[in-house]
Chain A
């Protein structure tokens, strides 16, 4: 079943008189349950693509169909709904609320779909358990290590049981040991049936996925399957 289908996506920024094409015609399909890595040099348009797929941004041109719904025709509030129900985003910089506890950070998406507070806490605790942070639930981000922060962010991405987990350089701010931990977490989440897209610079990280798409100058350059062998090596 096709989860993501983009047709000739363009994203163009106008800087004064100059036009910057962050994406120049990206067409791709991703099936439900896939584990995809996106690679490419800095400035190639990886984050731009992720933001479009994550409904944080809208394309200048082209169609994007997520789960059978034409996202490029949606208004702000409909996009917010999609972000809330269908997508779990993990960022390089964690993007946690600094003043809130891990538990509150994780229940955040549930607040905006109107869940009751008991339900919220229950689901948030469950999500934190999945990332093995049950004993740090009441800690604030400043009281957690980088790896733990990213695990809180992963729990937040999981809490609403979305169809799609997006991670834009989730290990970019972590040391290699912690990076491996986080990637193991993604592997586990994928095994449980989730669709995952990870942006990364590193081949080792990308090889955790089953398919690697590389981007160059806003276009898809290669799109290849990761062999069982390569994957085992990465893990």
Chain B
């Protein structure tokens, strides 16, 4: 990381010494001031003492120092907004990013409009590698009004993630951001390892599943060392980003989850599947894998960029050629971010 020029540090210091504390991690003044404001708002809104007290100042300085050392802002503040929800974040569970927010919102809009599945039909959604539970909760909250019978299940291997996702459900119900679950509309979280030989799908007992969505670990060990930012490497769980090697799967280490998820998809036969990927190259590999494992007679494939509903920039193509599949539609603007597989 390039050194910060002393003039910049001095300038930040003249605005506020706390901004200078945040500068090493924020890298520019505008973003340092924005973060300072958010931290200050957090301190004020959670303060137990009268405003402007000594204790608040001490706490503000402590949080700024912590953040300045590189601890993610979401761990410092304890939350991250996700759609209309407020998701609690704790060390050990991956922090929700804006990209999942964008594709989850886009997918839920399509589902609400009845694009894939006629409206008001019973809907069953599976979210693998749910982490904080953000995607499952956002889908649940936005589908509740249009699907009278809805069941969302979040699955994660980490007990820490499962307990956090349950806490997030409770938290958002308490805030009134998510309707509280009922017998006909439910959202549940369970711990299980989808690679375990004894793994059975949560729907195998009772019928079908309509939507599978997942933000699995997809970074290669090399990518983790070179592409990941320092704060991510040092503070966020590697478990959620780099898959464990599985030599028997026959694909690259970073793609093992997609192979497994597509196997599950082939067995369960949902209407829609959406998987986050780490870029256009990985998206192309996953699309090719769909062609091999599911075939393209029955299934349609699309690639979504970071902002699937935005206007593509001039240099961004709207199709991509994939070996064995052919031309595949690419929507939106940004990096290749997710692969949509569906059957009409």
| Chain A bound to chain B | no
B interface, CB within 8 angstroms of A: none
